Amino acid sequence: YRSSQQTLICPCHQSEFDVLRGAVPISGPAARPLPQLPIQRQADGTFIALGDFAAPVGPSFWDIHR
């Protein structure tokens, strides 16, 4: 996470994602936004998932049907 620009950087291929705009890619080879998991912070500070990912998880080329 780069706090000065509020972006996430993938350590594998250095794609950069804008966390304030739905994690859309702004540079690098990534072709789609990062999938997001709905979470909630509990009173004790822990986090729980409220559901499943809203999009496929993994590289975008996994979505190519041959």
**Domain-located, residue 1:** no
pLDDT of res. 63: 64
Buried b (16+ CB within 10 A) or exposed e, 25-50: beeeebeebbeeeeeeeeeeeeeeee
How many domains would you assign to the chain? 1
**Domain-located, residue 17:** yes
**Domain-located, residue 30:** yes
**Domain-located, residue 2:** no
Tens-level pLDDT at each residue, the chain (66 residues): 899 999 999 998 899 999 999 999 999 999 899 998 999 999 999 999 999 988 888 776 666 554
| Owning domain of residue 51 | 7-63
**Domain-located, residue 41:** yes
Nearest CA to 5 among 13, 34, 21? 21
**Domain-located, residue 14:** yes
**pTM of the complete model:** 0.71
pLDDT of res. 5: 93
